Amino acid sequence: MADGSEASPAPVGEDAMLSRPKLLSMSHVDKIFGRDVVALKDMNLDVRVGDFISLLGPSGCGKSTALRLISDLIHPTGGRIKWEVEKEPGSLSVVLQEPTLMPWATVEDNVFLPFRMQGKSKRSVISDIEEALALVGLEKFHGAYPRELSGGMKMRVSIARAMVTHPKLILMDEPFAALDEITRFKLNNDLLAMKEKIASTVIFVTHSVFESVFLSDRIVVMAARPGRVIEELTVTEPYPRTEDFRTSADYAAHCRRASDALKHAMELGQ
Amino acid sequence: MTAIEQDAPATADLAVDPEELARARRNRNEKIGQWVLPALVVIVTIFVWDRIVAVNELPHYILPGPGLVVEALIEDWGMLSDSLLVTLRITMGALFIAIVGGVGLAVLFTQSRWVEMSFFPYAVILQVTPIVAIAPLIFIYVDNRMVGLLICAWIVAFFPILSNTTLGLNSADHNLRDLFKVYGATRWQKLRYLQLPSALPYFLGGLRIAGGLSLIGAVVAEYVAGTGGNASGLAFRILEASYRLNIPRMFAALLLIALTGVIIFAILSLVSHLSLRKWHESALKRET
């Protein structure tokens, strides 16, 4: 499948992935909660620019812990996490399972938040805000309050907020888990389109095999007790991926592989 | 029409639904009843009061009739309105200091767990000790009567604001806290854009209680202070009238105090509604 020997302008496959510059590296990262709860053990991961990485695993496998470590909310007990490119304000953003919007602020003010924390005035970034809202298809709702929006729309605002600064890395912690399947499929498609547009790198935590195969080019499979990486799979299907991919034989084969890996992970974690 | 409804329940919402009609009628009646019923109760009460006094020929120094109370209110309006202003000034002053002090202390508490742990128990002690027990001491040590009254009223009023605002500042959504941290918010930004807005509904709840309490504080403090003169509030007028067995004036002053309390509560409720109506659950009408 992998075919990196051709010097095409847009190479595909694993070789192309490996040729991208490094963005961030985790080496031998451990995290222990309390005295003896090993949430994460010896995690090694090189994140490259443009990657779409899914962390796939059962609950308790440390995938959310890994995200919290990368976002600097908690710090490793051992090992280290290093940014290989310069990290500036706005380089990193997160999307959580809940939309996590401020109910007292309009959609526009919610999306403005990352810039506000940088001390920028709204007027100076209003075009970025409008662009981000257009990206998620909510340009008409800039003055609405979160309570007026549906669950899917709230999540779109949350994504717009994460993308407004054109971050180098976006961390997503099961963002679509609470949504219905129709909305989730739509947001999956849109997310890929958005990622292409702002040329960012994404680490996406999920426990859905199908979601991870459709979205990512790298799937990191993790097991619980202790939380650890057991396998990494690659999905070589080139982007942009469309609905056709969802019904293709390749997709089914990738899902089978990922399912098997996940099953193995569950057995290990017992 | 009924045949269509039975055949196609999906179009039932286009037809007139008897249940919905009943609900609309109930809502309308409730809205009217909200105002009409209490008004009716007042009218009936005043009528019965008047009859009891007239039929039993009660002397006015035991129970004056409503007419006599209104008369006193009009006749003594000059004196009573001056006193009302004094009481209002103390109440408003105390409420203002309660807001500034309560919110200020709450912000201080949330900035440092150590400060909160050190001082919160004393705020509670101040609250649970009856003001009538502290007031005489305050008037011994504070020369200025007005300042003494303000301190008393403040002690009564500030606690609900302090405890509610502290609770509100601490109940900012945990995910939002994380988000602010990821985006590198400073302590001030976190306070200004996350904690204060989160605390607003709690603060406003405390404010409504504090409004009533500062009036109570002002009245109680005046009773304890007990001195007369030009700058006497309504509480002193009640004391004075009771010494002179001027019961109609007592009733008139009491009426003014009660009315003031109701108006304060109404104003603060309105303020609360206006500040929260755009986003907070408490101020939203359910659409279904």
Residue A204: which H helix or E strand, with range?
A: strand A201-206
Alpha-carbon distance A194 to A126, whole Å? Answer: 19
Cβ contact A113:B183 at 8 Å:
yes
Whether A1 maps to a domain, the answer reads: no
Helix, strand, coil fractions of chain A, as percent rounded to 5: 40, 25, 35
Q: Same structural domain for residues A108 and A238?
A: no
Instruction: Look at residues B279, B275, B198, B180 and name the one whose alpha carbon lies nearest to residue A149.
Output: B279
Q: Do A100 and B176 touch (CB under 8 A)?
A: yes
Of A92, A103, A146, the CB nearest to B182: A92
Per-residue pLDDT for A9 more than 90? no
| Residue to substitute from A64, A67, A72, A100, interface B, most B β-carbons within 10 A | A100
Q: Do A104 and B173 touch (CB under 8 A)?
A: no
Interface of A with B (CB under 8 A): 71-73, 89, 92-94, 96, 98, 100, 102-105, 113-114, 116-118, 145-147
Of A98, A117, A146, the CB nearest to B185: A117
Q: Which residue of A has its CA nearest to B183?
A: A114
pLDDT tens for the 288 residues of chain B, in order: 444 444 444 555 567 888 888 999 999 999 999 889 999 999 999 999 999 999 999 998 889 999 999 999 999 999 999 999 999 999 999 999 999 999 999 999 999 889 989 988 998 898 888 888 888 899 889 888 889 999 999 999 999 999 999 999 999 999 999 999 999 999 999 999 999 999 999 999 999 999 999 999 999 988 888 765 556 889 999 988 989 999 999 999 999 999 999 999 999 999 999 999 888 877 766 544
pLDDT at B2: 41
Among A138, A167, A196, the domain boundary falls at: A167
Q: How far is A205 from chain B (nearest CA, A)?
A: 16
Q: Same structural domain for residues A140 and A208?
A: no
Identify all chain B residues contacting A118, using CB atoms and an 8 Å cutoff.
183-184
Q: Which residue of A has its CA nearest to B281?
A: A147
Domain boundaries, chain B: 2-56, 66-283
Q: Same structural domain for residues A231 and A174?
A: yes
Among A114, A132, A167, the domain boundary falls at: A167
Q: Do A146 and B279 touch (CB under 8 A)?
A: yes
Whether A38 maps to a domain, the answer reads: no
Q: Do A73 and B184 touch (CB under 8 A)?
A: no
Sign of CA dihedral A78, B179, A135, A179: positive
Q: Same structural domain for residues A54 and A139?
A: no
Q: Do B178 and A96 touch (CB under 8 A)?
A: yes
Q: Same structural domain for residues A221 and A266?
A: yes
Q: Do B183 and A93 touch (CB under 8 A)?
A: yes
Q: Same structural domain for residues A110 and A156?
A: yes
Sign of CA dihedral A13, A16, A21, A25: positive
Q: Between A43 and B20, name the one with better pLDDT.
A: A43
**What values do phi and psi take at A38, rounded to 5?**
-85, 100
Per-residue pLDDT for A4 more than 90? no
A218-223 and A37-48 strand pairing:
unpaired
Other Cβ atoms within 10 Å of B103 Cβ, number = 23
Question: Which CATH number does the domain housing residue A254 bear?
Answer: 3.40.50.300
Q: Same structural domain for residues A108 and A61?
A: no
Among A167, A196, A224, the domain boundary falls at: A167
Residue A55: which H helix or E strand, with range?
A: strand A52-56
What's the CA dihedral at B37, B42, B45, B51 to 10 degrees?
Answer: -120
Q: Same structural domain for residues A241 and A251?
A: yes
Architecture of the domain defined by B66-283: Orthogonal Bundle (1.10)
- Least confident span in A1-15, A215-229, B6-20: A1-15
Whether A95 maps to a domain, the answer reads: no
pLDDT at B227: 65
Task: Please identify which residue in the block is written with the tokens 């590198």.
Answer: B184
Interface size between A and B, measured as CB pairs under 8 A = 52
Q: Same structural domain for residues A253 and A240?
A: yes
Whether A24 maps to a domain, the answer reads: no
- Residue B226 buriedness (CB in 10 A; 0-12 / 13-18 / 19+): middle
| Residue to substitute from B183, B190, B192, B276, interface A, most A β-carbons within 10 A | B183
The partner residues of A27 in beta bridges, in order of sequence, read A80
Residue B192 CA, chain-centre distance (Å), reads 26
Amino acid at B122: Y
Whether A18 maps to a domain, the answer reads: no
A52-56 and A78-83 strand pairing:
unpaired
Q: Do B280 and A103 touch (CB under 8 A)?
A: yes
Whether A37 maps to a domain, the answer reads: no
Amino acid at B197: P
Query: Domain limits at A269?
Result: 48-74+169-270
Q: Do A147 and B183 touch (CB under 8 A)?
A: no
Query: How many independent structural domains does chain A possess?
Result: 2
User: What are the Cα distances from residue B206, in Å, to A170, B102, B158, B199, B271?
Assistant: 40, 10, 9, 11, 13
Other Cβ atoms within 10 Å of B144 Cβ, number = 9
pLDDT at A145: 94
Interface of B with A (CB under 8 A): 173, 175-176, 178-185, 189, 193-194, 197, 200, 278-280, 284
pLDDT at B229: 58
pLDDT at A68: 94
Q: Same structural domain for residues A208 and A241?
A: yes
Q: Same structural domain for residues A175 and A265?
A: yes
Q: Between A85 and B3, name the one with better pLDDT.
A: A85
ipTM of the complex: 0.89
Angle, alpha carbons A137-A140-A141 (nearest 5°): 90
Instruction: Look at residues B183, B179, B138, B182 and name the one whose alpha carbon lies nearest to residue B156.
Output: B138
Residues A114-173: pLDDT tens digits?
Answer: 999 999 999 999 999 999 999 899 999 999 999 999 999 999 999 999 999 999 999 999
pLDDT at B285: 61
pLDDT at B20: 87
Residues A169-201: pLDDT tens digits?
Answer: 999 999 998 889 898 988 999 899 888 888 789
Identify all chain B residues contacting A162, using CB atoms and an 8 Å cutoff.
none
